[in-house]
Structures are given as structure tokens and as C-alpha cells.
Amino acid sequence: MFMQLILMLADTICGFMTFALLARFGLQWARASFRNPVGQFVIAVTDWMVRPVRRFVPGVFGLDTSSLLLAWLWQAVYLALVAGLSGALLTVSVGPILAVAALAVLETVKIAIYVVMAAVIISAVFSWVNPHAPLAGLFNAITRPLLRPFQRFIPLVGGVDLSPLALLLLLQVALFVLTALRFNLMPLLQ
């Protein structure tokens, strides 16, 4: 029971930090303003670790690679803790370490998909309920580049934009593929 409690706390902390770092990356990628409550919260939670890492990890094509690296690192730490507590990392070999690194990539991508899904859902709700809400512009800025390819092919139906549904469906398929990949990688930790 004590181990389960430790793993639950570690999962919560590492998942939250990964979510915040990926939100920071997404806001920066979308060129969204950080001058709003969400942006200020993300900066306050992540700035203490991103700033020092930026000295050593340069941005690539204007993207905040230090946030991505740190998001992956939080997931790698959690998975290494899980593998270590299960005894998979007791023998020092390359296989389990590479499996942890690969699984951390998959978990980081999974959380990134959840970040995008949340942004799409919040943006859609804002468009229906209050399109002029203060945070509506932020979520529109994040989701607009992702929805634009779908909006080219999916016409409005009765004035309703169905492109968020198409994007959410595609993201669900990606989650299904990630789950299959994760299932195939899990035996490498044993």
C-alpha cells in the first residue's frame, strides 16, 4: 500500500509538471500571449526549471525545446521510479534504460495529445457559450493552426464548425496507436 501511495503521488506530480511544460510549449508554439491567467500560471509553475535549462538547450526553429526536454525528463523519472520499484532496473543493462526512455517519449506524446484535446474542447465550449470571453482568444490562438487543415475540407453544417470533432477523432486514433506501442514496449522493462 505504501508503494502504491508513492507511485500515485509521483504520477500526479510528474504528470502535472509534464502537462504544464507541454502547455508552455504549446502556448509558445502558437505564439499565444502569456499575459492572461493561464499563461501566468504556466510561467509561474515552470519558469524555475526552464530558465536554467535554456542556457544549455537552445531553441530549434523558434520552438522551446527546453520545455519539451524537461517534459520528457519528468516522464522518464516517473517511469524509472516505477521500473526501479518493480525491480526491472536492478540489473544495469541498456534494454530497460532504453525502454524507459522510449516509454517516456510515448507518455509525453500522450500527455501532449491530452493538452491539445483539452484546448480544443475548451475552445469549442467558448465558441458556443461566450465567444468574447477573456480566455476565448487564447484557446482560439492555440487551436486555430490545428483546426485550419480540417476546416478546408469540412464545411459548416448549419453554421456549426465540425472541425473540432474531426480533430478530436484523429487524436483518439493517435491515442489508440500510442497505447498499442506502449503495450509492445512494456515487456522490455521486465
Domain extent for 111:
2-189
Please, which pLDDT band fits residue 190 given cuts at 50, 70 and 90?
A: low
- At 88 the pLDDT is 59
CA distance 145 to 175: 20
Model-wide pTM > 0.85: yes
pLDDT tens-digit series, residues 76-122: 999 988 887 776 555 666 777 888 899 999 999 999 999 999 999 99
Partners of residue 43 on adjacent β-strands: none
pLDDT tens-digit series, residues 34-69: 999 999 999 999 999 999 999 999 888 888 999 999
Number of domains in the chain: 1
- At 90 the pLDDT is 58
- At 92 the pLDDT is 62
CA distance 188 to 11: 21
- At 117 the pLDDT is 97
CA distance 64 to 26: 9
User: Measured over all CA atoms, what is the biggest interatomic distance in the chain, rounded to whole angstroms?
Assistant: 61
Average pLDDT, integer, range 22-29 = 94
The Cα-based distances of 158 to 53, 119, 147 in angstroms read: 49, 23, 18
- At 94 the pLDDT is 72
HEC sequence for the chain: CHHHHHHHHHHHHHHHHHHHHHHHHHHHHCCCCCCCHHHHHHHHHHHHHHHHHHCCCCCECCECHHHHHHHHHHHHHHHHHHHHHHCCCCCCCHHHHHHHHHHHHHHHHHHHHHHHHHHHHHHHHHHHHCCCCCCHHHHHHHHHHHHHHHHHHCCCECCECCHHHHHHHHHHHHHHHHHHHHHHHHHHHC
Q: Which of 112, 103, 111 is CA-nearest to residue 80? A: 103
Rg (CA), the chain: 19
CA distance 117 to 141: 14
Question: Which residue has better confidence, 93 or 5?
Answer: 5
pLDDT tens-digit series, residues 150-175: 999 998 888 888 999 999 999 999 99
CA distance 134 to 158: 26
